[in-house]
């Protein structure tokens, strides 16, 4: 397994090479990189619209800011733990070889302290500024991403991202509970939506970096199965994602804006998924990143519609 080929490699961040003579600005940027800022963008996209939906209008702006800040620290903690635990395989992949723990900009000890600090700070922050439920859900999300996904699933099964992706579903629950202090069917429908969206979002990326995952011996589906098999799975999950988005209409009483958006943007996402599969069937060059970027655009536009819909009278 991965340890056989990777563990023999010297830890990329050795004490002798870490941070020596590094400018403060570069050091700060390195620690920010540990939090995976692009993932934090997704947090913002999914959290704020759910808070608007929960309030059926604009919630208190301080509450929104507090929830986003707490969620960002929580997600940053999980990402840093992930980079700390995966630093051995990150050194073998083009996509991750420049991460701070690989280049030596941050030491493993420094990253671990940073991760724990963010974890504790985010939990306490949400407990003080929102409520105990949001804080608890945040802590559970960190545990799920670090232990269930990174430690248990990632290196053992090609279904890793399916179940590990549950961690990315928690922001909708956190956002809703921050406003209401409770949970309901609506956030769980959104939880299901993000859960089903994650595989067709990530598997195309693993197809793009198939060689990297094979080199690191990480069994991502895109690296272990043919383009035809992965393409079919992407189609099935894309259809399921769009179907789950339509469940929100009766459950949350969504209006015309959301209904039209779910149908139009969902239809486009499905079409892009079929294009990927059809190229594989015809033996043509597969362009998985087209579906990857389409999935991000789809989810962003859908959650914008979730935010706009409660603010309109129809």
Give the model's pLDDT for residue 185.
97
pLDDT for 15 beyond 60: no
Q: Contact 126/115 with Cβ under 8 angstroms? A: no
| CA Rg value for the chain | 20
Helix (H, G, I), strand (E, B) or coil at 78: helix
Residue range 269-298: average pLDDT? 93
Residue range 7-20: average pLDDT? 48
pLDDT for 235 beyond 80: yes
Give the model's pLDDT for residue 20.
60
pLDDT band for 272, please (50, 70, 90 cuts).
very high
264: Cα within 13 Å, side-chain hemisphere: 10
Give the model's pLDDT for residue 6.
41
Report the predicted TM-score, pTM, of the whole model to 2 decimal places. 0.90
Give the model's pLDDT for residue 215.
84
Q: What are the b/e assignments for 267-286, b being 16+ CB within 10 Å?
A: eebbebbebbbebbeeeeeb
| Strands, E assignment, the chain | none
For helices 170-180 and 61-85, the axis angle rounded to 10 degrees is 150
Instruction: Give Cα separations from 139 to 60, 79, 165, 204 (angstroms).
Output: 23, 13, 16, 29
pLDDT for 34 beyond 90: yes
Q: Contact 111/90 with Cβ under 8 angstroms? A: no
Q: Contact 95/209 with Cβ under 8 angstroms? A: yes
Helix (H, G, I), strand (E, B) or coil at 143: helix
pLDDT, mean over the chain: 91
89: Cα within 13 Å, side-chain hemisphere: 21
Q: Contact 44/52 with Cβ under 8 angstroms? A: no
Q: Contact 71/43 with Cβ under 8 angstroms? A: yes
Instruction: Give Cα separations from 46 to 39, 41, 172, 216, 274 (angstroms).
Output: 11, 9, 6, 31, 26
Q: Which domains does the chain have, with CATH numbers?
A: 24-159+167-177 (1.10.357.140), 184-314 (1.20.120)
pLDDT band for 246, please (50, 70, 90 cuts).
very high
> pLDDT tens digits, residue range 178-216?
999 999 999 999 999 999 999 999 999 989 888 888 888
Q: What single DSSP character describes residue 285? A: P
Give the model's pLDDT for residue 11.
55
Q: Contact 70/197 with Cβ under 8 angstroms? A: no
pLDDT for 16 beyond 50: no
pLDDT for 7 beyond 60: no
Inter-residue long-range contacts of 219-222, CB under 8 Å, 24+ positions, other chains counted: 219/155, 219/156, 219/157, 219/158, 219/160, 220/158, 220/160, 220/161, 221/158, 221/159, 221/161, 222/288
pLDDT for 65 beyond 50: yes
- Bigger pLDDT: 3 vs 66: 66
Give the model's pLDDT for residue 60.
96
> pLDDT tens digits, residue range 93-143?
888 889 999 999 999 999 999 999 999 999 999 999 999 999 999 999 999
- Bigger pLDDT: 289 vs 21: 289
Give the model's pLDDT for residue 18.
56
Give the model's pLDDT for residue 12.
53
Q: Contact 255/314 with Cβ under 8 angstroms? A: yes
């Amino acid at each position: 397994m991965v340890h056989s080929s990777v563990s023999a490699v010297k830890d990329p961040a050795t004490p002798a090479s870490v941070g020596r003579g590094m400018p403060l600005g570069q050091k700060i940027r390195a620690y920010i990189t540990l939090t995976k800022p692009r993932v934090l963008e997704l947090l913002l996209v999914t959290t704020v619209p759910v808070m608007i939906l929960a309030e059926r209008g604009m919630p208190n702006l301080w509450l929104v800011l507090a929830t986003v800040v707490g969620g960002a620290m929580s997600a940053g903690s999980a990402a840093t733990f992930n980079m700390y635990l995966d630093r051995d395989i990150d050194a073998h992949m083009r996509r991750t070889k420049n991460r701070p723990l690989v280049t030596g900009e941050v030491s493993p000890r420094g990253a671990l302290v940073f991760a724990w600090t963010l974890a504790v700070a985010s939990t306490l922050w949400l407990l003080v500024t929102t409520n105990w439920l949001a804080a608890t859900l945040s802590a559970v999300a960190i545990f799920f991403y670090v232990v269930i996904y990174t430690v248990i699933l990632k290196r053992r099964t090609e279904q890793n991202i399916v179940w590990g992706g549950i961690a990315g579903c928690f922001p909708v629950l956190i956002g809703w509970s921050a406003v209401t202090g409770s949970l309901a069917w609506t956030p769980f429908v959104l939880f299901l939506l993000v859960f089903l969206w994650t595989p067709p979002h990530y598997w195309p990326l693993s197809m793009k970096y198939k060689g990297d995952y094979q080199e690191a011996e990480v069994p991502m589906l895109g690296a272990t199965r043919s383009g035809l098999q992965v393409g079919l799975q992407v189609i099935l999950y894309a259809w399921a994602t769009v179907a789950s988005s339509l469940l929100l209409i009766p459950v949350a009483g969504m209006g015309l804006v959301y209904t039209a958006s779910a149908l139009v943007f969902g239809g486009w996402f499905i079409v892009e998924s079929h294009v990927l599969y059809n190229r594989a069937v015809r033996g043509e060059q597969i362009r998985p990143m087209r579906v990857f970027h389409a999935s991000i655009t789809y989810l962003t536009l859908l959650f914008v519609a979730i935010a706009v819909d409660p603010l309109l009278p129809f």
